[in-house]
């Protein structure tokens, strides 16, 4: 079994229970969760965040960075999750754990690269936050296109009519198209069949579903840009 692990779960006993219960269980680490592990005191936090995973280094899968995935996933014939795995970092995780262990006891040769990675992670997170703010602005624009009738249907959890369903599909496709057009790592236009397998389409879909969830709960006024970064979203089942 494979489970994606977010930063909040890295130090939780449930993670150790999951890995210890079956040697075939794998923890999947995303770029964003890895970067969050460096927040604040990089050395202290990375040592704490990776303490459980370093006890099971052969049960950790590390994914490629988002930009690399987008660059390599522009016109996919199918969604192949294996292509998202960073084979080099996954194979080298045991070595990374060795560096972390040395940093724990104050080895300067281990501490220096961790601090440098921390600076890089902070810089990348600032870029992602800036990008997320743009997405939030785009979602806000879509939100304003919902009529009062649409909002009542969503907030009352009524069956979604064909007109509103069609609007949602068009919105998601438009959001995907704009993201592909403006992203610095895309230079190819996928076909309609290929689009559904791209990272950008699935990210756009998740953002839109998150918007619908917020609409059902009363609006976007209290939403933050960070919520448009990689998060788990629980949504009610709806007939669309």
Write the pLDDT tens digit of every residue in 183-238: 889 999 999 889 999 999 998 898 888 888 888 887 655 555 555 554 433 333 44
Last-in-domain residue among 52, 86, 121? 121
The stretches of the chain forming alpha helices (DSSP H) are: 13-21, 31-36, 42-49, 66-72, 87-91, 93-104, 108-143, 148-155, 162-182, 192-195, 199-216
pLDDT of 240 reads 37
Closest CA to 3 of 70, 72, 56: 56
pLDDT at 6: 86
In a domain, 76, yes or no: yes
**Confidence at residue 3, expressed as pLDDT on a 0 to 100 scale:** 92
The residues facing 4 across adjacent strands are: 28
pLDDT for 221 equals 57
User: Rounded CA gap, 195 and 180, in Å?
Assistant: 10
- Average pLDDT value for residue range 6-13: 88
Give the whole-angstrom CA distance, residue 215 versus residue 238.
14
Asked if residue 233 is part of any domain, the answer here is no
Do the domain assignments include residue 177? yes
Higher pLDDT, 236 or 140: 140
Residue 191 falls inside a structural domain:
yes
Quote the pLDDT of residue 228.
Answer: 52
Given a contact cutoff of 8 angstroms between Cβ atoms, the answer to whether 56 and 94 are in contact is no
pLDDT at 87: 93
DSSP 8-state assignment for residue 161 = P
Q: Computed over its alpha carbons, how large is the radius of gyration of the chain?
A: 20
Which pLDDT score is estimated for 23?
A: 94
Residue 168 has pLDDT above 90, yes or no: yes
Are residues 143 and 135 in contact, defined by beta-carbon separation less than 8 angstroms?
no
Does one domain contain both 9 and 116?
yes
Q: What is the pLDDT of residue 230?
A: 41
Split into its structural domains, the chain has a count of 2
Q: Is the pLDDT of residue 115 over 80?
A: yes
Coil vs helix vs strand at 28: strand
Both 107 and 133 in a single domain?
A: no
194 within domain boundaries: yes
> What percentage of the chain reaches a pLDDT higher than 70?
89
pLDDT at 172 over 50: yes
Residue 42 belongs to some domain of the structure: yes
- How far is 87 from 146, CA to CA, in rounded Å? 44
What pLDDT shows up at residue 129? 72
Shared-domain flag, residues 116 and 146: no
pLDDT digits (tens, 9 = 90+) for 16-67: 999 999 999 999 998 888 888 888 888 888 988 999 999 999 999 999 988 8
Q: What is the pLDDT of residue 239?
A: 41
Q: Could you tell me if 14 and 108 lie in one domain?
A: yes
pLDDT at 21: 95
Q: Is residue 235 part of a domain?
A: no
List the beta bridge partners of residue 26.
2
Q: Rounded to an integer, what distance in angstroms lies between the CA atom of residue 27 and that of residue 7?
A: 12
Last-in-domain residue among 55, 89, 121: 121
Q: Evaluate whether residue 187 is within a structural domain.
A: yes
What residue numbers bound the domain in which 197 lies? Answer: 129-228
> pTM of the prediction?
0.76
User: Using CA atoms, how far apart are residues 205 and 196, in angstroms rounded to an integer?
Assistant: 10
pLDDT the model gives residue 62: 94
Q: What b/e sequence results for 54-77 when a residue is b if at least 16 CB atoms lie within 10 Å of its CB, and e otherwise? A: bebbebbbbbbbbeebbbebbebe
Residues 105 and 155 grouped into a single domain:
no
Cα–Cα distance, 18 to 153 (Å, whole number): 40
Q: What pLDDT digit, counting tens, does each position of 84-96 carry?
A: 999 999 999 999 9
Same domain assignment for residues 6 and 115: yes
**Of 95, 121, 147, which residue sits at a domain end?**
121
């Amino acid at each position: 079994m494979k489970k994606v692990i977010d930063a909040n779960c890295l130090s939780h006993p449930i993670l150790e229970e999951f890995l210890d219960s079956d040697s075939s269980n794998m923890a999947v680490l995303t770029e964003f969760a890895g970067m969050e592990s460096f927040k604040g005191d990089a050395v202290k936090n990375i040592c704490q965040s990776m303490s459980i995973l370093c006890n099971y280094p052969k049960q950790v899968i590390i994914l490629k960075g988002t930009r690399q995935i987008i660059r390599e996933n522009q016109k996919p014939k199918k969604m192949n999750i294996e292509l998202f795995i960073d084979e080099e970092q996954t194979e080298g995780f045991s070595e990374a754990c060795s560096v972390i262990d040395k940093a724990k006891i104050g080895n300067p040769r281990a501490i220096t690269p961790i601090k440098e990675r921390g600076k890089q992670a902070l810089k990348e997170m600032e870029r992602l936050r800036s990008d997320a703010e743009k997405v939030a602005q785009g979602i806000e624009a879509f939100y304003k296109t919902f009529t009062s009738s649409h909002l009542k249907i969503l907030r009352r959890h009524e069956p979604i009519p064909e007109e509103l369903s069609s609007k949602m599909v068009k919105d998601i496709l438009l959001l995907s198209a704009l993201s592909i057009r403006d992203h610095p790592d895309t230079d190819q236009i996928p076909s309609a069949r290929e689009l559904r397998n791209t990272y950008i389409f699935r990210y756009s879909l998740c953002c839109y579903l998150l918007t619908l969830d917020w609409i059902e709960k009363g609006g976007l006024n209290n939403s933050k840009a960070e919520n448009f970064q990689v998060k788990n979203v629980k949504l009610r089942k709806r007939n669309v």
